[in-house]
């Protein structure tokens, strides 16, 4: 199996050493992991950045790729925290850097961070969802330098609302987003951390995956979103069974930013 969303101690929210994560992934029988550490410029609207040293990142992973090349395929990725005012900066920064995989995601909307900011304080649940998906659509319309979009319904994870908003409340804009992604040849991620966060489903949930499939979406990357040693590959068999039940035949990983297709039945 191929885990395309893994964090290490290069991410500000993880203390997991790369070596330990690789060793544990080998024990689990994973074929490949891609480190996708966080790079979020101006995450809080106050010009504070969550970043890491790109040169040191490539140097460290270059050594590890060589060390483990006969045991596991270690890939170099990044998770970009998109916001509309950052897309030009990201394009300038990363257009020539040879990542294997660029995973786009959103952690802040209206320059307010979901986790530590006050984004939810002055919004109803419906308004929070609408603002998130509207900004997501705006980013996708202006930024192309990525291969897959991560945890597309991550808004469900935050806000401390008593219930999850039903898909019918935002289906129209989500379908517009999926149509845009499909037209651009971009994929979405099936992120298994939704179960870890107690949401009772993946990111995105099964009903959203059905919408993506119905619109002709085929590109799906699989990610644990692991931030701890031993977290890679978590709930992957269950995720692959869901994909197969929905009619997907393959999931995708990326190497040199080119898709590699993996038959789901070969990983079950």
Q: What is the CATH number of the domain that holds 27?
A: 3.20.20.140
Q: Global pTM?
A: 0.97
Count of C-beta atoms within a 10 Å radius of residue 145 = 16
Q: 116 is written with which tokens?
A: 């530590």
Whole-number pLDDT of residue 160: 86
In tens, the pLDDT along 139-187 reads 999 999 999 999 999 999 998 888 899 999 999 999 999 999 999 999 9
- CA dist 168 and 146 (Å) reads 28
- Domain span at residue 106 reads 2-267
Whole-number pLDDT of residue 198: 87
Phi/psi at 93 (5° precision)? -70, -40
Secondary structure class of 165 (helix, strand, coil): coil
Mapping DSSP onto H, E and C, the string for 19-53 reads: HHHHHHHHHCCCCEEEEEEEEECCCCCCCCCECCC
Does residue 117 carry a pLDDT above 80?
no
| Whether the Cβ atoms of residue 119 and residue 135 lie closer than 8 Å to each other | no
Q: How many domains does the chain have?
A: 1
């Amino acid at each position: 199996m191929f885990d395309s969303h893994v964090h290490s101690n290069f991410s500000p929210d993880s203390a997991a050493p790369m070596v330990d994560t690789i060793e544990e992934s080998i024990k689990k029988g994973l074929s490949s992991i891609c480190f996708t550490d966080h790079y979020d410029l101006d995450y809080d609207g106050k010009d504070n950045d969550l970043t890491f040293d790109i040169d040191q990142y490539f140097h460290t992973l270059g050594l590890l790729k060589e060390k483990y090349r006969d045991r596991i395929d270690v890939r170099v990725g990044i998770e970009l925290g998109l916001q509309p005012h950052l897309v030009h900066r990201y394009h300038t920064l990363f257009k020539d850097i040879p990542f294997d995989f660029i995973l786009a995601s959103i952690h802040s909307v209206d320059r307010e961070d979901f986790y530590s900011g006050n984004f939810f304080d002055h919004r109803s649940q419906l308004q929070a969802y609408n603002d998130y998906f509207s900004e997501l659509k705006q980013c996708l319309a202006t930024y192309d330098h990525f291969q897959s979009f991560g945890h597309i319904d991550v808004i469900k994870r935050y806000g401390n609302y008593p219930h999850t908003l039903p898909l019918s409340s935002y289906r129209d804009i989500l379908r517009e987003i999926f149509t845009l992604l499909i037209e651009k040849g971009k994929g979405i991620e099936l992120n298994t951390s939704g179960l870890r966060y107690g949401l009772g489903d993946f990111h995105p949930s099964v009903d959203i995956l059905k919408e993506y499939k119905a619109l002709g979406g085929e590109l799906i990357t699989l990610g644990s979103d692991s931030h701890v040693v031993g977290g890679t590959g978590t709930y992957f068999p269950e995720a692959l069974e869901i994909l197969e039940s929905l009619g997907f035949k393959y999931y995708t990983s990326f190497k040199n930013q080119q898709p590699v297709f993996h038959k789901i039945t070969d990983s079950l």
